[in-house]
Chains A and B, each alone.
Chain A
């Protein structure tokens, strides 16, 4: 099946710094990718839809200037958490769909961010 990777798998950063998370579709092209955030014992919360070659669409309540999304190619989307604070510590997960004919959405393994 299709594979989506994320890098890094874990990251620890200091408060006030920025962190970039990469999401790659390894064996298919994805014009659309999605970014989710998940707090402990909670469900996944959709943050934004990443569109190749255009601006991302953010869900209500998600600050676009804090969570910068860039989808520069058909296989790569990045999420940058700017000026990170301890409350940004979470599990960040991306997903991608191989195409309109596919009902499956493939998820990355997630990135565990800890802000100290």
Chain B
């Protein structure tokens, strides 16, 4: 069973920030929050992950609430190529553990 809840779809104007929320109210202490995205007809792509601190890399920023029950993925300047399905996944830190995908958020970036 997916442990996360995400909006089904979101729209964003090109050049604007895209803020994608995720609820993971049952997350346990040793579980990380991972974000992946899947562009149409391709394999998923890793974006970012975090435990409790906010994280930033060249693709995005991850903001995790203090109680860790929710998080937000931020794409600071969305482009048309960011149109994809974004998946928020919680998983413990073991590298070999499987990823269980929920339904994700379909982000449409428009000109």
Q: Which residues of A contact B (CB under 8 A)?
A: 4, 6, 31-32, 34, 36, 43-46, 49, 91, 93, 95, 97-110, 112
CB distance A100 to B95 under 8 Å? yes
B46 touches A104 (CB 8 A): yes
**B contacts, CB < 8 Å to A:** 32, 34, 38, 41-46, 49, 85, 87, 93-96, 98-104
Given contact pairs A31-B96, A93-B44, A104-B46, enumerate 4 new A-B contacts (beta carbons under 8 Å). Answer: A36-B101, A46-B99, A100-B95, A103-B32
Chain B nearest Cβ from A36, distance in angstroms: 8
> Is there an interface contact between A102 and B95, defined as CB atoms closer than 8 Å?
yes
With a CB–CB cut-off of 8 A, which chain B residues contact A108?
A: 43
> Max chain B CB contacts within 10 Å: which of A34, A44, A95?
A44
Chain A residues with Cβ below 8 Å from B98 are: 34, 46, 49
Q: Verify B99–A95 contact, CB threshold 8 A.
A: yes
In the complex, residue of chain B having the shortest beta-carbon distance to the beta carbon of A44: B101
A-B contact pairs, 17 of them (CB 8 A): A6-B43, A34-B98, A43-B85, A43-B87, A43-B101, A46-B98, A91-B41, A93-B44, A95-B43, A97-B96, A100-B94, A100-B96, A103-B34, A103-B93, A104-B46, A107-B44, A107-B45
Given the known interface contacts A103-B34, A103-B49, the answer about A44 and B96 at a Cβ–Cβ threshold of 8 Å is no
